[in-house]
């Protein structure tokens, strides 16, 4: 069993307190992957001090050179893709095809950020006065506090850390306590690629200790957080005391509409992947299926039969379709919602219980579950469950589908299956969500496209694509007067 450490100021170190915590395999809870430093405020203090010091030199490194380092990061990730994917499956349970995809997203993000080093465009704008030049350029913000969840242990940290570095910021990174090993591999790669001392620091430990200490710290300039809406709101409150820039990517209650004119085979593949991929533990997971009444019975029969054939087990085995819930607490939440759904009058069409076959007993497995006879007012139709539970709601029209889809506090991802171009464009216009897929499931973001949600899914920023560089850079407006005299804007113009 490996003993992992924090990385602060270019050195691997234990927590000041000497305390540690264990990281276990959710498919086989007796397997310990490693021990990690259980850090506290003092460790954060040290990391922020080093990140601040390193900022003064890193900000002066030309952006194309920062990009070259990220290019090497991408190359190293390619070389280590399989090793990282296997570690990730062991520590958080999702199947190997998906953990390979998670690493690939990091690779794509590295190369995209690397190329941005030779753009990072600003603006030149005409002045209203003669012999005067106006421009707006991008400058780094400072020390970036990065706090991430466990469901995309590589992709999400890279979405944040790579653009942060490219823009010239330094980083203090607190990964989720459930996936510290993948995070450690990412930092090892950054170091191997040549990121200078102090530019990236990782502090392992609990959310309310380490995460909150970063958010509270007066010398941290921005926070990029992905996680639950509850924690996001708390972070937003605390960060407002030092007027930090904050990007929040939070919960979802995503829905897939299936119209009566849809390619039903395609829609079935989509909902199975969207609802049960990553054991339903994606912020973009399909949690509701809004199914047109004209195709309801046939589609439900096929959906139930396909769902019952899904194989639960260790994600390292090629025969496994679905891994476990992340831990006992999450499985209890899932069980709780299954109980609530039944009390509210919904009917279980598949699954509905803890999975206890051989190969499942030692992990946190829960059967893929489908609820039918769900109404939009039920809690299972409104609240994020974050597990393998799909609520099916019957709809009569596109208008009803869109209205039910929008009837939630969240607005992350959405999907419509239809062959009618008019339906598709009306849905794109009227759905209130950051992402809409047409004839594709609610999951499947690409690294070079904006990612994020509306309503209580976030606070208006976007990760991914060209948009993320907005968050990680500060505009500096520059006026250069070469007239040799005092020229007064608005007065002499």
Whole-number Å distance between alpha carbons of 392 and 211: 37
Residues 181-210 that bind ligand NAP (CB under 6 A): 206-208
Site string for ligand NAP, 279-308 (x = CB under 6 A): ----x-------------------------
Binds ligand NAP by CB under 6 A, chosen from 115, 228, 403, 487: 228
Judged by beta carbon distances under 5 to 8 A according to partner kind, the member of Mg ion, ligand NAP, none in contact with residue 91 is Mg ion
> What residues from 250 to 269 belong to the interface with ligand NAP (CB under 6 A)?
250-252
455 binds, among ligand NAP, Mg ion, none (CB under 5 to 8 A by kind): none
Site string for Mg ion, 79-98 (x = CB under 5 A): ------------x-------
CA angle 95, 332, 353 (to 5 degrees): 70
Nearer to ligand NAP, 313 or 458 (CB): 458
Question: How far apart, in whole angstroms, are the C-alpha atoms of residue 221 and residue 140?
Answer: 10
Cα–chain-centroid distance for residue 172? 18
Structural contact between residues 445 and 451, judged by C-beta atoms closer than 8 angstroms: yes
Residue 99 touching Mg ion (CB under 5 A): no
Best CA proximity match to 454, nearest among 400, 412, 395, 423: 412
Annotated active-site residue in 50, 283, 325, 463: 283
CA distance 404 to 399: 9
Identify the bridge partners of residue 256 per DSSP, sorted by sequence position: 289, 415
Rounded Cα distance between 318 and 467, Å, is 37
Rounded to an integer, what distance in angstroms lies between the CA atom of residue 51 and that of residue 8?
Answer: 9
**Would residue 249 show up in a list of annotated catalytic residues for this protein?**
yes
Distances 167 to 55, 119, 228, 292, 311 between C-alpha atoms, Å: 11, 11, 27, 47, 44
Pick the closer one to ligand NAP by CB: 409 or 489. Answer: 409
DSSP secondary-structure letter at 351? -
231 contributes a contact to ligand NAP by CB under 6 A: yes
Cβ atoms of residues 290 and 255 within 8 Å: yes
Distance, in Å, from the CA atom of 231 to the CA atom of 225, rounded to the nearest integer, reads 9
Residue facing Mg ion at closest CB distance: 91
CB of 251 to ligand NAP, least distance (A): 4
Torsion angles phi and psi, residue 219, rounded to 5: -100, 10
Q: With CA atoms as reference, report the closest residue to 77 among 156, 7, 154, 3.
A: 154
158 belongs to the binding site for ligand NAP (CB under 6 A): no
Q: Which CB, 151 or 369, lies closer to ligand NAP? A: 151
Percent composition of the chain: helix, strand, coil (DSSP 3-state, to 5): 40, 25, 40
Question: Which one of ligand NAP, Mg ion, none interacts with residue 23, CB within 5 to 8 A by kind?
Answer: Mg ion
Q: Which stretch binds Mg ion (CB under 5 A): 20-28, 133-141, 237-245, 280-288?
A: 20-28
Q: Which stretch binds ligand NAP (CB under 6 A): 244-252, 257-265, 309-317, 387-395?
A: 244-252
Residue 388's binding partner, choosing from Mg ion, ligand NAP, none, with beta-carbon cut-off 5 to 8 A by kind?
Answer: none
Q: What angle do CA 108, 112, 117 make, to 5 degrees?
A: 150
Task: Determine the distance from the C-alpha atom of residue 85 to the mean position of all C-alpha atoms in its chain, rounded to a whole number.
Answer: 17
Among the residue ranges 99-107, 249-257, 298-306, 351-359, the one whose residues contact ligand NAP (CB under 6 A): 249-257
Q: Tell me how far, at minimum, the Cβ of 161 lies from Mg ion, in Å.
A: 21
CB of 37 to Mg ion, least distance (A): 16
147, 207 Cβ separation under 8 angstroms: yes
CB of 263 to ligand NAP, least distance (A): 29
Q: Which of residues 164-223 bind Mg ion (CB under 5 A)?
A: 178
Give the residues lining the site for ligand NAP (CB under 6 A).
Answer: 147-151, 174, 176-178, 206-208, 211-212, 215, 226-228, 231, 234-235, 249-252, 283, 384, 386, 412, 453, 457
Give the residues lining the site for Mg ion (CB under 5 A).
Answer: 23, 91, 178
Query: Which residues does the annotation mark as catalytic?
Result: 249, 283
């Amino acid at each position: 069993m490996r003993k992992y450490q924090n990385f602060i100021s270019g050195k691997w170190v234990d927590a000041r307190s000497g305390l540690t915590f264990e990281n276990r395999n959710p498919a086989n809870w007796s397997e310990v992957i490693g021990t990690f430093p259980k850090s506290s405020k003092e460790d954060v203090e040290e990391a922020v001090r080093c990140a601040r010091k390193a900022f003064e030199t890193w900000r002066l490194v030309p952006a194309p050179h920062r990009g070259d380092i990220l290019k090497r990061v991408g190359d190293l990730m390619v070389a280590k893709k399989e090793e990282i994917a296997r570690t990730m499956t062991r520590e958080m349970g999702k199947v190997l095809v998906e953990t390979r995809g998670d690493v690939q997203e990091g690779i794509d993000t590295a190369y995209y950020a690397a190329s941005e080093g030779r753009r990072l465009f600003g603006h030149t704008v005409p002045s209203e006065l003669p012999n005067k030049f106006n421009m707006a350029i991008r400058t780094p913000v400072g020390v970036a506090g990065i706090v991430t969840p466990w469901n995309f242990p590589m992709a999400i940290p890279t979405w944040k850390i790579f653009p942060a570095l490219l823009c010239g910021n330094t980083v203090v990174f607190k990964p989720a306590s459930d996936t510290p090993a993948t995070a450690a591999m990412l930092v090892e790669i950054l170091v191997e690629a040549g990121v200078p001392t102090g530019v990236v620091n990782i502090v392992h430990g609990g959310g309310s200790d380490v995460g909150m200490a970063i958010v509270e710290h007066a010398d941290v300039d921005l926070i990029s957080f992905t996680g639950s809406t509850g924690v996001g709101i708390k972070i937003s409150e605390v960060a407002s005391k030092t007027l930090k820039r904050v990007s929040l990517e939070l919960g979802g209650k995503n829905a897939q509409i299936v119209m009566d004119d849809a390619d039903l085979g395609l829609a079935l593949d989509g909902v199975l992947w969207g609802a049960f991929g990553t054991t339903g533990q994606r912020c973009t997971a399909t949690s509701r299926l809004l199914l047109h009444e004209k195709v309801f019975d046939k589609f439900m029969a096929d959906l139930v039969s396909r769902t019952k054939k899904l194989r639960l087990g260790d994600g390292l085995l090629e025969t496994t379709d679905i891994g476990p819930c992340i831990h006992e607490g999450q499985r209890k939440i899932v069980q709780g919602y299954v109980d609530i759904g039944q009390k509210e009058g919904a009917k279980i069409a598949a699954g509905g219980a803890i999975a206890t076959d051989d190969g499942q007993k030692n992990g946190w497995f829960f059967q893929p579950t489908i609820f039918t006879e769900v109404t939009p007012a039920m809690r299972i139709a409104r609240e994020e469950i974050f597990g393998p539970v799909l609520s099916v709601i019957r709809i009569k029209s596109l208008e009803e589908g869109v209205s039910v889809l929008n009837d939630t506090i969240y607005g992350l991802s959405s999907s419509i299956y239809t062959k009618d171009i008019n339906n598709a464009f009306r849905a794109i216009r009227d759905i209130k969500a950051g992402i809409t897929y047409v004839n594709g499931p609610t999951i499947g973001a690409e690294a070079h496209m904006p990612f994020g949600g509306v309503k209580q899914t976030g606070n208006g920023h976007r990760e991914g694509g060209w948009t993320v560089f907005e968050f990680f850079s500060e505009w500096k407006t520059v006026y250069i007067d070469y007239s040799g005299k005092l020229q007064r804007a608005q007065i002499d113009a």
